[in-house]
Structure 1
Amino acid sequence: MFRIRKEFHFSASHRLAHLPDDHQCARLHGHNYIVVVELAAESLTRDGFVRDYHDLAPFKAYIDGTFDHRHLNDVLDVPSTAEHLARHFHDWCRARWRETAAVFVSETPKTWAEYRP
């Protein structure tokens, strides 16, 4: 199996209102998010790619237009956890690129969430 990954970045605020008031994530705060999309294929295209990285430009446009410098509570219909973001981004990518295998989301340099069906 061949695998490729591409990294994307955005900054956004959110609040996890379902948590107790004394939980730090219940307060309004923000992150500099890193999103990594992983694509996989058993064989390569004639050009030798799983998929041309340039084909992922619509995902960057989607992140920039919908998520960057936004309040995630206004964007998502589910709690704006890294886990939900990973699932959302996976589903968005998978609808466009059948090779989508997983999406990873980082809120801080030490934390990552992954969605892989």
Structure 2
Amino acid sequence: MVANEACKEPWRYSAAGISIALRVTPRGGRDGIDGIEQLSDGRSVLKVRVRAIADGGEANKAVLVLLAKSLGVPKAGVKLLSGATSRLKQIAVDGDPTRLGEALRQLVSGQAKD
């Protein structure tokens, strides 16, 4: 069911774009999006891994660059809202929320096929 799927999406729409709940794995061996994971508290997060280490904000920068590239938006349009020193982060992406949501769904469904 589509309605059920929407409840599991770890992103929220706003007038300016979307905000995404992430779980980041620094030093993950590669830069990539690994799909959606449900946390023990029931929240859904987008799993992201980056090669960068979690030191001096390097992993955060890599995550912002990866999301900008994956979603086809300028790097300046992707901002860290919270979780600078945590694996769990909130990211804001500026742009057309409908297009961004569709791009995220395609990225996640593409990962499911791998």
Note whether the superposition's TM-score is higher than 0.5: no
Q: Please, what TM-score do these two structures have when normalized by structure 2?
A: 0.31
Q: Please, what TM-score do these two structures have when normalized by structure 1?
A: 0.31
